[in-house]
Structure 1
Amino acid sequence: MKLHPLMLALAASAVLPVTFAAETVTPMTPDGVASYDKIRPQADFIKRVEMVPMRDGTKLYTVILMKKGTKNAPILLSRTPYDAKGAFERTGSQSMREVVDVMDVEFVEDNYIRVYQDIRGLHNSEGDYVTNRPLVGPLNNTGIDESTDAYDTIDWLVKHVPESNGNVGIVGSSYLGFTTLMAEINPHPALKAAVPQSPMVDGWIGDDWFHNGAFRNINIGYTVEQGTAKAESSGIAVGAGDDYSRFLEAGSTGDYLKKWGFEHYPFIQKMVQNPAYNDFWSLQAVDKIMAKQPLKVPTMLVVGQWDQEDSYGAPAVYQAMEPKDKHNNMVSLVIGPWRHSGVNHYGYNLGALTFTGDTAREFRVKYMKPFFDHYLKGAPDPKTPPVLTYATGENHWNVSPKWPMGTPKKLYMTGNMGLSFNPAADTNAHDDYVSDPAKPVPFIPRPINMEDPFQWKPWLVHDQRFASSRPDVLVYSSDVLDKPVHIMGAPMVNLFAATSGTDADWVVKLVDVYPNTTTEGAAQGAVGPEMTGFELPIGIEIFRGRYVHGFDKPAALTPGKVEHYRFGLPNVDHVFLPGHKIMVQVQSTLFPLYDRNPQTFVDNIFFAKPADYQKATMSVFHSSNVELPIAK
């Protein structure tokens, strides 16, 4: 058989060696090159890097990504402390959908222009970094803040990105949730929609730094990493081992800071010098700020039901903004079955729990993207639900007109360690336990490594049987439920308690106890037989006793005096199913996540001395209750 001449030529070329342009090299020619452009001509996208000027002359590193051929497209912006350069380097692929994070895929495939920017002072941006930079005002006289930087950035983008249609949306979680909210204060006219996810709102009341006055040791490492070398450092150098032992052996948190050389970091000093809720914290509280702002930007607030870092912020901002939403169409709230920032990842499961498919992607595709499409692209109104929550236990989404939906009903702690919707017969009766700061209750089973994401991210759904068997944890349990109990809101704790000491911490956990069988657990989507008897925390919160008469008024407790401690658990949509039990656990330590209360009043717990740490007898009275927001 004769071959066509063209085929012969092709066959010959297939075996020819590849040749390059001749370059002069010698055996000692240096083998390094300055850089390599990962984006090849065959890539289906365009990437630009710009140094965007702010009003004070500071330039912020900004990465712009879009598909080739993009025209008349909206801009989706995120302002981050976590390295904009790396936001589009997930792989070295030439496909745009493969270089972005999973949260961005649906947007970039629909011709959105995706923009990430380093906030000032971090990574490749110029300027000075200030953690949660306060708004211009009593705490900030510089004339610039995250609000002005967002305004200047949006102004530059709509003028210098010719492929855009002039409409900008902003989105982000955690610190990026904070910068998203800041952009809504005196917003640029081109900012048409915002989705703050798990935003840092009030770092003292219930977000990152403290919870009701109790300091969160977990954030020491974060503060050091963010505050070193423009956040380009390699982390803290405490080594491997059990954080429980490491913090306990150091003594107070102040001793720990000094031991590891962290005490000189400015933001650590800001926290140490402001342990109470003074102006430093209250004037920065974003929910208080947003309550004073007119509604100009349609806003979808998002939080995970088991958010281990910022459970407070989104619901608090919703409560601040919603009263001004006269037509119930400018502000919405979403509570999903996720950990912190879980909305932007895969939502199939959390810890031992499984859900009905990828709940995070389902929300992004069905609700979040249509929300942005409407305001940025002129798509039809998707009729965004005023409130969207995922009913864990039954595993389905609920649409509601408002939040909370439940009506408070008190569940009392009664005799024989019971729980009842009927008040206890003797409200003067009490149950006691001894809290020993030398043997604090761990927040998860030991050994503990708070830097380990596999321990940290799902800790709020960890089986509580490890704690409920301890003698320093009171356990109250209902009878087996014969019908479902559906709660929609933030359960409120009314703890009537006394201590033999002069200070105390109080930890309350609301727990769903699974039946001790495999059949029912599997029917509810549990992950195999390990869910039998599982004690699933629905909400966990702490309250530092010295603040019982005012967060700005720390004072010693009177030994033996009964005080009323009232505080909220996280917002949830959960169904306690028939066959389950409702449990409440009460303890006084949650270590080393939270610093130890010495149980002897000192001016500043960061500087407590070894002799200040004393055992104390804690008494919980049967007038104590948890108000469950029960849905009709």
Structure 2
Amino acid sequence: MKPTIARLAPLAGALAFAGLAHAQADKPLYPQLPTETPAEFAAPTASFNYVKRSVMIPMRDGVRLNTVIIMPKGAKNAPILLTRTPYDASSLTSHAESNDLGSILQGYDNAADVIVEGGYIRVVQDVRGKYGSEGDYVMNRPLQGPLNPTPVDHSTDTYDTIEWLTKNLPETNGKVGIIGISYDGFLPLMALVNPHPALKVAVPMNPMVDGWKGDDWFHNGAFRQINLSYVMEQVVSRKNEAKWFTSNYDDYDMYMRAGTAGELGRERGVEQSGFWRKILAHPSYDSFWQQQAMDKILAKQPVTVPTLLVHSLWDAEDIYGAVAVYKAIKPNDKDGKVHLVLGPWSHGGGIGDGSSLGAIKFGQDTALHFRQEILRPFLDRYLKDDTSAAPIPTVSAFETGTNKWRSLNAWPAGCNSGCAIKPVALRLAASQKALLGAPANDKGYDEYISDPAKPVPFRQRPIPPYGYDEAKGQSWPRWLVDDQREASGRTDVLTFTSDVLTAPVKISGEPVANLIASTSGTDSDWVVKLIDVYPDQVGSQPAMGGYQLMVSGDIFRGRYRESMEVPHAIAPNKPLAYRFGLPTANHVFLPGHRIMVQVQSSWFPLYDRNPQTFVPNIFWAKPADFKKATQRVYHSSFVELPIVEAVR
């Protein structure tokens, strides 16, 4: 039907009115005050002692990575210290609005005092897919290969970044170091794969290394469900805008109400994340995890870059990685390039105040000692060619108990000469006794009922949410030094305690749990904790009387007793051997103290509950699968202690 003139008239009127309205919109109806905001503000920086700029550095596939470059004013012939991060390079280099370089780098930044005093050019870069960088984000992006068919990974991105920096910063001497903590510590390990010739130093601090065996996602097959909030916030958006919410004041109640980690992830929408779907699909130690394990990868690489691995003895997140990498790459170190530091810290504690951790006091700032006496000369020696910088020991290990730094030629090692490490059995004997060096001649057992409806809390309730803000009660980083008395009083926790020691007992290395145990169920978790029990009264610090300090502890999921790759049901009521390593310790049990071992079958909600009925995938266990079980620990069980003894 053709439009008539009558029908067109209203349309013409409407168009005319719209044009008039547009013309009137261009001209204010009322008088306006002139704006007081400049079109573009140029901040005066003449008083600043640094120059800061952000650049987009192109990678070989065309993706550009946001990179913040900060250099002292007047820098010449200066080395570069690089950190690559998924945690927002811009905010990590803006801790204060200040004209002082030290002020803007304080906070999370890695050893800001050493960086500022050393005159380094500081470079912090967003990894691809996070914050200001282009590209797609993949959690712990694997190297090129079966898990990554693309031509780019963190190794190539680091190489391309260093190439650009050395060619475009005339202020540099052409030497680059890379340093970082946790995820940022995983990235220096990636840089060691086919490293750029200008990379002269790597400092992985508390690095993520093997997400299944003992770092962020699992420990020996038990899922660390408390990290669910991190997974969601880190992977569902580029700038971490999505926030985890708590539904209960006590995290224990929140996780119990959900039932399983799989169900809680579904409730919070985490399944929209590709990484969470990978976790759900790979609960066992299959090729997905094995091919990403950085200790396995680096064991096949030549050692060409001086590397300082930094480990925290009470690391609540990545207690496995640094020592595992040291053990993997040290055999390939022909020129003494690989070094290890063991400090009495929580996760990342080497950059803060190391005078104490929770209630445990060390009598010195151990972290300051690390930064000034170990890290600083190490960086100076290789990035500045400073021949006056003293060479650092192969291993610098803080000895807890005596609270002394030890300079060692190897690890594990109790000393450099005149001693040896001897594995000695600490028997879990009758009458709740822990007997050092006793023979296995007792066929008895102790037992308890493990009830998934009442799992053992991993710390005293109410349990605050995972986080680092002490003002919000988020004391997560130091929970490993919590007093373990809360657990020792429960009927579903076995305790075995030595007599009062009359002589010091020193351990250096990895204690190994050797349980002979049975369960009436068809699956079970086993938690073993090695504990230093303080004297009943401590005059210098009364609150430490009877304190139970966990020196080392870990969990093992029973379904992986026969194979880590393929789970198997446990034969009920049959004594079976479970052998698994506990985290590295360097500790002296002092005279007047006692040694305790605690054994339990849940550590909640740090780890997801084992239903104690074998199911294909615990993430999707049903309420009916969760059943009580009778757990028996036989007196032939023991913890193998790496005891340091004098050589006769």
Is TM > 0.5 for Structure 1 vs Structure 2?
A: yes
Give yes or no for the alignment of 1:311 onto 2:311. no
Cα deviation 1:450-505 (Å, max 9, x = unaligned): 32434211000000001100000000000000011111111111111110000000
Find the counterpart in structure 2 of residue 20 from structure 1.
none
Are residue 596 (structure 1) and residue 630 (structure 2) matched? no
Q: Distance in 2 between matches of 1:230 and 1:345?
A: 28
**Alpha-carbon distance between aligned partners in 2 of 1:579 and 1:442, rounded to the nearest angstrom:** 29
Pair 1:628–1:93, CA change in 2 (3 A): same
Give the partner amino acid of 2:104: V
Shift of 1:427: 3.4
Instruction: Give the 5 Å matches for 1:188-587.
Output: 188-327=196-335, 329-380=336-387, 382-405=390-413, 406-423=421-438, 426-453=441-468, 454-519=474-539, 522=540, 528-587=541-600
Aligned residue in 1 for 2:27: none
Q: Name the CA shift for 1:409/1:231 in 2 (closer, same or farther; >3 Å).
A: farther
Task: Please tell me the residue identity of whatever aligns with 2:378.
Answer: F
Q: CA, structure 1 residues 44+548, in 2 after alignment: closer, same or farther (shift >3 Å)?
A: same
The 2-side partners of 1:232 and 1:29 are apart by 38
Answer yes or no: is the 8 Å Cα contact 1:415–1:424 preserved in 2: no
| Counterpart contact for 1:238–1:260, Cα < 8 Å | no
Give the 3 Å change call, closer, same or farther, for CA 37–490 of structure 1 in structure 2.
Answer: farther
Q: 1:45 maps to what in 2?
A: 50
Counterpart Cα distance in 2 of 1:333 and 1:554: 35
Rounded Cα–Cα distance in structure 2 between residues aligned with 1:32 and 1:561: 78
RMSD after superposition: 1.6
How far apart are residue 39 of structure 1 and its match? Answer: 6.5
Paired residue for 2:14?
Answer: none
Q: Is the CA contact (8 Å cut-off) linking 2:424 and 2:437 kept in structure 1?
A: no
Quick check: 1:178 aligned with 2:186? yes
The offset of 1:36, in angstroms, is 5.9
Give the secondary structure class of the aligned counterpart of 1:578. coil
Q: CA deviation at 1:422?
A: 3.3
Q: Equivalents in 1 of 2:242, 2:268: separation in Å? A: 15
Counterpart code for 1:353: I
Residue of structure 2 equivalent to 1:13: none
8 Å contact from structure 2 (residues 236, 270) kept in 1: no
Residue of structure 1 aligned with 2:65, choices 60, 64, 77: 60
- Structure-2 change in CA distance of 1:556 and 1:27 (3 Å): same
Question: Which residue of the partner structure matches residue 9 of structure 1?
Answer: none
SS at match of 1:109: helix
Higher mean Cα deviation, 586-595 or 317-326?
Answer: 317-326
Per-residue CA deviation, residues 65-124 of structure 1 (Å, 9 max, x unaligned), is 111111000000000111100122111111111111261122223211011000000010
Q: 1:34 to 1:242 in 2, by over 3 A?
A: farther
- Distance (whole Å) between structure 2 residues aligned to residue 554 and residue 430 of structure 1: 26
User: Shift in Å at residue 221 of structure 1?
Assistant: 0.6
Structure-1-length-normalised TM-score? 0.93
Name the stretch that deviates more: 499-508 or 344-353: 344-353
8 Å contact 1:38–1:92 — kept in the other structure? Answer: no
* Distance (whole Å) between structure 2 residues aligned to residue 190 and residue 81 of structure 1: 23
User: Does structure 2 conserve the Cα–Cα contact (< 8 Å) formed by 1:167 and 1:191?
Assistant: yes
Q: Distance in 1 between matches of 2:583 and 2:167?
A: 42
Q: Secondary structure at the match of 2:322?
A: helix
Q: Give the aligned residue type for 1:60.
A: L
- Structure 1 position 105 matched with structure 2 position 89: no
Gaps of 5+ in 1: 1-25, 523-527
TM-score, with structure 2 as normaliser: 0.90
Which structure has the larger Rg over C-alpha atoms? 2
**CA pair 186-48 structure 1, distance change in 2 beyond 3 A:** same
Distance 1:39 1:259 in 2: 50
- Per the TM alignment, residue 358 of structure 1 is displaced from its structure 2 partner at its CA by 1.7
Are the counterparts in 1 of residues 526 and 558 from structure 2 also a CA contact under 8 Å?
Answer: yes
Aligned partners of 2:260 and 2:609 also within 8 Å: yes
Q: For the structure 1 residues 50 and 393, does the alpha-carbon distance in structure 2 shift closer, same or farther, using more than 3 Å as the test? A: same
Q: Secondary structure at the match of 1:230?
A: coil
| Secondary structure in structure 2 of the residue aligned to 1:542 | strand
Q: CA deviation at 1:31?
A: 6.1
Cα pair distance change 1:87/1:37, threshold 3 Å: farther
Retained in 2: the 8 A contact 1:511–1:538? yes
The CA deviation at 1:361 is: 1.6
Separation in structure 2 between the aligned mates of residue 141 and residue 259 of structure 1, nearest angstrom: 32
SS of equivalent residue, structure 1 residue 247: helix
Q: Distance in 2 between matches of 1:146 and 1:604?
A: 32
Q: Distance in 1 between matches of 2:122 and 2:516?
A: 52
User: How many residues in Structure 1 have an aligned counterpart in Structure 2?
Assistant: 600
SS of the counterpart of 1:518? Answer: coil
1:327-348 CA distance string (max 9 Å, x none): 4x11111110000011121211
- CA 1:48 to 1:342, structure 2 compared with 1: closer, same or farther past 3 Å? same
Q: Distance in 2 between matches of 1:352 and 1:230?
A: 38
Larger deviation: 295-304 or 356-365?
356-365
Question: C-alpha separation between the residues in 1 aligned to 2:257 and 2:306?
Answer: 50
CA distance in 1, matches of 2:636, 2:321: 30
CA separation in 2, counterparts of 1:231 and 1:443?
A: 31
Partner of 1:141, secondary structure, is coil
Q: Is the 8 A contact 1:335 1:572 kept in 2?
A: no
Deviation, structure 1 residue 32: 6.0
CA contact (8 A) 1:287 1:317 kept: yes
Q: Which residue number corresponds to residue 130 of structure 1?
A: 138
Query: Counterparts of 1:281 and 1:156 in 2: how far apart (Å)?
Result: 32
Q: Deviations over 1:513-567 (max 9, x none)?
A: 0001132xx2xxxxx3211110000011000000001100201000011221111
1:557–1:35 Cα change, 3 Å? farther
- Gaps of at least 5 residues in structure 2 are 1-30, 414-420, 469-473
For 1:80 and 1:498, the matched residues in 2 are separated by 45
Equivalent AA in structure 1 for residue 257 of structure 2? E
Q: Which stretch shows the higher mean deviation, 592-601 or 215-224?
A: 215-224
**How do 1:76-95 residues align onto structure 2 when only pairs under 5 Å count?**
76-95=81-100
Between stretches 31-40 and 470-479, larger displacement belongs to 31-40
C-alpha change, 1:410 and 1:272, in structure 2 (3 Å) is same
Q: Quick check: 2:513–2:638 contact (8 Å CA) kept in 1? A: yes
SS across alignment from 1:631: strand
Q: Secondary structure at the match of 1:308?
A: coil
Contact 1:495 1:566 in 2 (8 A): yes
